Amino acid sequence: MVLRQTLLAASGSDRLRTLVAGTRLTRGVVDRFVAGERAEDAVRAAGELAEYDLLSSIDHLGEDADHPARTQDVVKGYVRLLRLLDDTGLTSWAEVSVKPTAVGLGLGPEGEALAVDNLSRICDTAAEVGTTVTVDMEAARHVPATLRVVARLRARHPWVGCVLQSYLRRTEGDTAAMAAEPGARVRLCKGAYAPERGSAYTGRREVDAAFVRSLRRLMTGSAYPMVATHDSRLIDIATTLARRYGRTYDDFEYQMLYGARPTEQRRLASLGARVRVYVPYGTDWYGYLVRRVAERPANAAFAARQVLTR
Ligand code: FAD
C-alpha cells in the first residue's frame, strides 16, 4: 500500500517525468501497455484485436491540460482518430475514451463548460461515424464535475459512457442512480488514482467488496454494465451475477487494458462474451504508466526482465 501511494504521488511529478522518459527500462513497459505514438498505431492495434473478436476503446494519452489552447489540440486529435476509424471500417469495433482534464476540466471556473463544449464536438463526430465515447473518471476532486458533464452530454447523446470507481465511498450511491437509467453505459472499475483522505476505501478487501455491491446493482438494474477488471475473482462474480439476473453476453461487457492478461481477453471472447480492450496511444504516457506500475508492481519487474534478456 505504501509503495502504491508513493508511486501514485510520483505520477504527478514533472521532474520524475523528465528523468524517466527514454530510459530502456521504461521502454519495455511503454511497449507493452501503449499501442504506439500515432493514431495510426492505435487503429492498427484495434484492427489486430478485432481479429480475435475483441472490441476497443482508444485513449489519446494526456491529462491535466494547462491551457484552453492545448485542449483544442486534444479535440482535433480525437476527431482525426474517429475519421481514421471510419476510413478503416472499424467503427463497429472501436470507440474512444476521453479524460475530462485533457479537454479542460480543472481549468478554473470556466473549465467545466469548456470540457462540455470540447466533449460535445468529439461526441458529434463519434455520432457521425457511428461509434460511441466513454468519459474516463480521474481523481476524486473531479468526480462531481465529471458526472455533471456526462449528464449534459447524455441529454444529446444517451450512449455516452461513464466510469464509476469502487474505491470511492460515494460510488454506491452514484451506481444506484445510474443503474436506473435504461441503457446507460457504465464502466465499473476499482479506481487508479491516489485516494483523497476520507473519501475512499483504502483496503483491498473493502474496495473489492464495494465493487461487488456496485456490480450487483448494475446487473440487477437497467443500465449496460461494463466490468473493467483483470481480477479473476471479480470476473467470475460478474459472470455469475449476469447469469443469475438473466443477462446474456450481449447485455454487458468485460473490459481490460491493452497488454494486461491478453490470454484471458481472448478466452472470454472465444466464449462469445463481449470484451473491450482499452488501447492508449500517444507520447504523453508517463502518468498512465505509473498508475499501471502502482496497481501491479510486477509490471515493473516485467520491464526489468525485458532489459536483462535483450
Ligand atoms: P487489481 O486489484 O489491480 O488486480 C487484481 C488481480 O488482477 C491481480 O492480482 C492479478 O492477478 C490481475 N492483474 C491485474 N493487472 C494485471 C496485469 N497487468 N497483468 C496480469 N494480471 C493482472 N481507473 C480509473 O480510475 N478511471 C478510469 O477511467 C479507468 N478506466 C479503466 C478502463 C479499463 C478498461 C480498465 C481495465 C481499467 C480502468 N481503470 C480506470 C483502472 C482500474 O481502476 C484499476 O486501477 C485497474 O484496472 C487495476 O485493477 P484490477 O481491477 O484489474 O485489479
Domain ranges of the chain: 35-284
Instruction: Give the residue numbers annotated as catalytic, written as ranges.
Output: 136, 187
C-alpha cell read off for 109: 471556473
Ligand 1 centre distance from Cα of residue 227 (Å): 10
**pLDDT in the model for residue 308:** 41
Q: Are 98 and 78 in contact (CB under 8 A)?
A: yes
**Closest atom of ligand 1 relative to the 211 alpha carbon:** 51
CB of 253 closer than 6 angstroms to any ligand 1 atom = no
**pLDDT in the model for residue 196:** 77
**pLDDT in the model for residue 198:** 87
The answer to whether ipTM exceeds 0.95 is yes
Q: Are 162 and 133 in contact (CB under 8 A)?
A: no
Buried b (16+ CB within 10 A) or exposed e, 181-219: beebbbbbbbbbbbbeeeebbeeeeebbebbeebbbbbb
Burial class from Cβ neighbours inside 10 Å (0-12, 13-18, 19+) for residue 169 reads: middle
From the candidate CATH numbers 2.40.50.140, 3.40.630.30, 3.30.200.20, 3.20.20.220, the one assigned to the domain spanning 35-284: 3.20.20.220
**Which residue has a Cα nearest atom 22 of ligand 1?**
230
**Closest atom of ligand 1 relative to the 291 alpha carbon:** 45
**pLDDT in the model for residue 83:** 98
Residue 188: closest CA among 157, 210, 159: 210
CB of 257 closer than 6 angstroms to any ligand 1 atom = yes
* Eight-state DSSP code of residue 190: -
**Which residue has a Cα nearest atom 18 of ligand 1?**
260
Residue among 60, 231, 261 whose CB has most ligand 1 atoms within 8 A, to mutate: 231
Which residues of the chain register pLDDT less than 70? 1-27, 297-310
**pLDDT in the model for residue 112:** 97
